[in-house]
């Protein structure tokens, strides 16, 4: 990254202590660029990443927004490729220090930052991160298997529960919401950076698991509270409306039901997952 900022009229580079438009008290230092045009290549890239839940697969990179996610990445030793920060966020010392962990930093106006954000109240700070290479499947790892879950909020919530209760490996079968999509990232609240995530698998890939597969079902033979839950294990959670595919359900060694004395027909899959994963973690 150049230590100079180019002038508005396209002339020769000016010294690195050029100031941000409209922000005379915020100098852009060495290694920090400013962005004042909507068609800047970085902003174009970020808007494309937000267009669909699977754009990250083609791009090979992920956009994470907000102080919490950026801090979670750094806490796990993650290294961003690029930081983007709004003028108002740049004026806050803690946020400025956080983005300067990136090898490339760009500061832009609050309006332009909002143009690449999907948040109602843009956070003003974000990282571009290389899409991690999927790890090899670990046959004996405590795992969560997702079968065609399509709601990004549910997927993200389950990732968060998996990380909280000691299930490090998450296997997403083909048809699930993209694990690194913006909505899943926001719902997981940083859990991604402590998990081994593998997506796009076929059901046959589950044959490699050497731990018992467990499922929750309203027709389960045993109550969750009474079942002897093995550890390690792999909990399998299915499509929000259709449940588990028959060939996936057939692989499960145990199917349990969650008692619901209130009389509801069923629980949201993310809520059911949190209960099951907690009970397994508590039984270790």
pTM of the model as a whole: 0.87
Residue 136 lies in a domain: no
The pLDDT score that the predictor gives to residue 22 is: 40
The pLDDT score that the predictor gives to residue 19 is: 37
Residue 77 lies in a domain: yes
List phi, psi (to 5°) of 245. Answer: -65, 145
114 and 149 share a domain? no
Number of domains the chain contains: 2
The pLDDT score that the predictor gives to residue 3 is: 35
Q: Angle at the Cα of 25 (from 7 to 72), degrees rounded to 5?
A: 95
The pLDDT score that the predictor gives to residue 18 is: 37
Q: State the CATH number of the domain containing residue 239.
A: 3.40.1280.10
Cβ 110 vs Cβ 86: under 8 Å: yes
The pLDDT score that the predictor gives to residue 17 is: 35
The pLDDT score that the predictor gives to residue 23 is: 43
The pLDDT score that the predictor gives to residue 284 is: 77
Three-state DSSP at 146 gives strand
Query: Could you list the mean pLDDT of each consecutive 10-residue stretch along the chain, which spans 284 residues?
Result: 35 36 46 93 96 94 97 97 97 96 96 94 96 97 97 98 97 97 96 98 98 89 88 96 94 92 80 96 76
Q: How many CB atoms lie within 10 A of CB 245?
A: 17
Q: State the CATH number of the domain containing residue 77.
A: 3.30.1330.30
The parent domain of residue 39 ranges over 5-130
H helices of the chain, in order, are 41-51, 55-59, 67-75, 87-90, 93-99, 110-114, 152-164, 182-188, 246-249, 269-282
């Amino acid at each position: 990254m150049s230590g100079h900022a180019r002038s508005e009229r396209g002339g020769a580079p000016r010294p690195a202590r050029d100031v941000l438009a409209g922000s005379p008290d915020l100098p852009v230092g060495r290694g920090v660029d400013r962005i004042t045009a909507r068609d800047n290549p970085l902003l174009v890239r970020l808007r494309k990443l937000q267009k669909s839940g699977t754009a990250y697969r083609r791009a090979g990179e992920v956009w994470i927004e907000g102080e919490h996610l950026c801090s979670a990445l750094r806490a796990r030793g993650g290294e961003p490729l690029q930081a983007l920060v709004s003028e108002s966020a740049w004026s806050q010392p803690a946020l400025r220090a956080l983005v300067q962990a990136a090898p490339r930093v760009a500061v832009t106006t609050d309006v332009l930052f909002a143009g690449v954000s999907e948040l109602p109240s843009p956070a003003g700070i974000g990282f571009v991160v290389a899409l991690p290479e999927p790890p090899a499947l670990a046959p004996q790892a405590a795992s969560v298997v997702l079968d065609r879950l399509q709601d990004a909020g549910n997927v993200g919530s389950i990732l968060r529960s998996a990380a909280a209760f000691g299930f490090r490996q998450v296997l997403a079968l083909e048809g699930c919401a993209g694990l690194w999509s913006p909505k899943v990232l926001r719902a997981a609240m940083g859990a991604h950076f402590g998990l081994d995530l593998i997506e796009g698998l076929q059901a046959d890939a589950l044959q490699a698991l050497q731990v018992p597969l467990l499922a929750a079902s309203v027709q389960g033979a045993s109550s969750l509270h009474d079942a002897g839950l093995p550890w390690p294990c792999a909990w399998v959670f299915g499509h929000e409306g259709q449940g588990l595919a028959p060939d996936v359900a057939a692989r499960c060694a145990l199917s349990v039901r969650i008692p619901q004395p209130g009389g509801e027909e069923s629980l949201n899959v993310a809520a059911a997952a949190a209960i099951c994963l907690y009970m397994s973690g508590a039984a270790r």
